[in-house]
Amino acid sequence: MKKYLVIGNPIEHSLSPKLHNYWIKLNNIDAIYEKEKLKVKDLEALVSRVRKKEISGVNITVPFKREIIKYIDKLSPEAEITQSVNTIHLEKDKIVGSNTDIKGFEIAIKDINFSIKGKKIFIIGAGGVVPSIIFALKKVNVSSITISNRTKEKAENLKNFFNDLIIINWGEVPDFDLIINATSLGLNNNDEIELSFPESVKGKFFYDVIYNPKETPFLKKGKKLGNHIENGRMMFIHQAAEAFKIWHGIEPKINKEVIGLVD
């Protein structure tokens, strides 16, 4: 039986096993997908388990998506550009690192019925998933991307990858069409984002990368002001589906039942 894993820290709340095991069963694959909480010092040993074929594939989540790169032999072009890996597997004795977050976000945003081409985007946060979001947004030719992060230096560092980003101070709100919460604020129900939006923020789009809870205080605020809202559930499902395709060569079904698994 093949073994797959998601690793991260924390990892308890990950729904990846639920999703992958559902697709594994549906496709009659002899495999199991589990989760493991690791520390940075465990990453090298983890990759050697993949090299020895004890594990057939690993999803990497917060906070190891960049740290894992030093143990990888070959990066996909998307992983290379974003310096972010969320999926690894062995290919002809080489450890390959891919980034399926980009495709996940790309498909999710395409499906929300809000054309973002030529739109002004405002991203809050500069953590692990943000380079992938920026990369996906750039593919659809948005008009501008503004970033605000509590630690401004981290937002400034993103300019090394994407030089036309606009960086503003934490707490400031620019004019925008789509705002994306890419911070971890909202994972805990009492987390508030201390941003005050002017009255003119109405009919815009509020997108949260977080999918659990379904409606973060950020989304609640957006909704109350009269904006469209969407959480990160479909992004999460699509990144998982892309990883599944890489490992098993099968396009997994995304239907109501699958979406329900992430409710």
Residues classed as catalytic = 65
Binding site residues, ligand ATR, CB under 6 A: 62-63, 125-129, 149-151, 154, 183-185
Contact, 215 vs 231, CB < 8 A? Answer: yes
Taking the CA atoms of 165, 170, 174 and 177 in sequence, report the sign of the dihedral they define. Answer: positive
Of 196 and 200, the one with the shorter C-beta distance to ligand ATR is: 196
Minimum distance, C-beta of residue 155 to ligand ATR, in the bound complex (Å): 8
Minimum distance, C-beta of residue 192 to ligand ATR, in the bound complex (Å): 9
Tell me if residue 31 falls in helix, strand or coil. strand
Of 62 and 254, the one with the shorter C-beta distance to ligand ATR is: 62
Minimum distance, C-beta of residue 193 to ligand ATR, in the bound complex (Å): 7
Contact, 153 vs 74, CB < 8 A? Answer: no
As a whole number of angstroms, the distance between CA 121 and CA 202 comes to: 15
Q: How distant is the alpha carbon of residue 55 from its chain centre?
A: 23
Residue (of 145, 183, 179) closest to 162 by Cα position: 145
Residue (of 206, 201, 151) closest to 178 by Cα position: 206
As a whole number of angstroms, the distance between CA 94 and CA 23 comes to: 26
Minimum distance, C-beta of residue 142 to ligand ATR, in the bound complex (Å): 20
Contact, 126 vs 157, CB < 8 A? Answer: yes
Of 116 and 126, the one with the shorter C-beta distance to ligand ATR is: 126
CA contacts within 13 A on the Cβ side of 55: 21
Tokens of 212: 């659990």
Minimum distance, C-beta of residue 103 to ligand ATR, in the bound complex (Å): 18
Tokens of 220: 């609640």
Tokens of 148: 């605000």
Of 63 and 118, the one with the shorter C-beta distance to ligand ATR is: 63
Residue closest to ligand ATR (Cβ): 127
> H-helix or E-strand containing 109?
helix 101-110
Of 32 and 173, the one with the shorter C-beta distance to ligand ATR is: 173
